[in-house]
Amino acid sequence: PEGLQVKPVTGGDVREDTCNKNGWKDVKVSPIGDMGAIVNTGALMARWTNDEWKATAHRVIIKNAEMANRSRYSIACFVNPDPNTMVQVHDKFARRGSTET
């Protein structure tokens, strides 16, 4: 395997699964040329969406010099709400009949 890989996360811990011996899944490259974007979400987005958008661990594996020398861009944006802010599932993602907030 080579390139971006993701792994499911539960409660802040990287969870093992059955997709391969290590649990890492390869991210498929877009067939539309060399252009594409991947949004790697964390625990806050998972909470807001009631786990519809999963938090993932991620890593990049590059095995050859040609790929290592190609241009690629990564933009990180970390958002931490004020410590007094209540973080709960957005109404759009609340399950009907659920009392979870």
Residue-wise pLDDT for 13-72, tens only, equals 555 544 555 678 888 776 666 666 777 888 888 889 998 888 888 888 888 888 788 777
Question: Is the pTM higher than 0.75?
Answer: no
Q: Which phi and psi angles does 16 have, rounded to 5°?
A: -75, 145
Number of domains, the chain? 1
Residue 101 lies inside a defined structural domain of this protein: no
**Amino acid (one-letter) located at 72:** R
Instruction: Compute φ and ψ for 83, nearest 5 degrees.
Output: -55, -25
Is 1 inside a domain boundary? yes
Q: State how far the Cα of 33 lies from the Cα of 28, in Å rounded to an integer.
A: 13
Instruction: Give pLDDT, residue 96.
Output: 62
Residue 2 lies in a domain: yes
* Enclosing H/E stretch for 43: helix 43-48
Q: Does any domain span residue 15? A: yes
Domain of residue 58, residue span: 1-96
pLDDT at residue 70, rounded to an integer: 79
Residue 56 lies in a domain: yes
